[in-house]
Structure 1
Amino acid sequence: IEDKLPNLSVATIYNTLKMLVDNGLVIELPNNDGGIRYDYFGVSHYHAICENCGKIIDIFDDDYPELVKHVQQTTRE
């Protein structure tokens, strides 16, 4: 990336990621080594994480919004 965007700073990248997270377009996915991965969240979905290699895959389910609503209601009680 340095060859294509030599003036792009690491701070700019992290500030942009924070803005995307704050606006709900991207979510943070912490991993076992203390790092964070980022995922586009334009379409709500689940994540499955391999316990061996740490690979994350997206799982889409039409019932996702209802499950989130149920969890939110249950935790408010």
Structure 2
Amino acid sequence: MNLNIGDKVKHCSLGNGKIVEIYGQFKIVKRKETILSEFYYGVVFDARPKKTYSIPITDLQKINPQYQLSLF
């Protein structure tokens, strides 16, 4: 899957989201849960169509402590 910033994505458990940043193999997805809160996810896309693996941003920061979220 060749996904770019701005692409909308769907996930069975995460719901709808939009890629706002790409960091290596991780696509950073921004999804509004409610009017007052926004959630960010790092999503790893597998080679097989429509198969995704999600990891929380906190885990992404553990993988690379220097990774910082930008403000959108």
TM-score over 0.5 (shorter chain): no
Query: TM-score scaled to structure 2, two decimals?
Result: 0.33
Q: TM-score if structure 1 supplies the norm length?
A: 0.32
Larger C-alpha radius of gyration, 1 or 2?
A: 1
Report 1 or 2 for greater relative contact order, CA contacts < 8 Å, sequence distance ≥ 6.
2
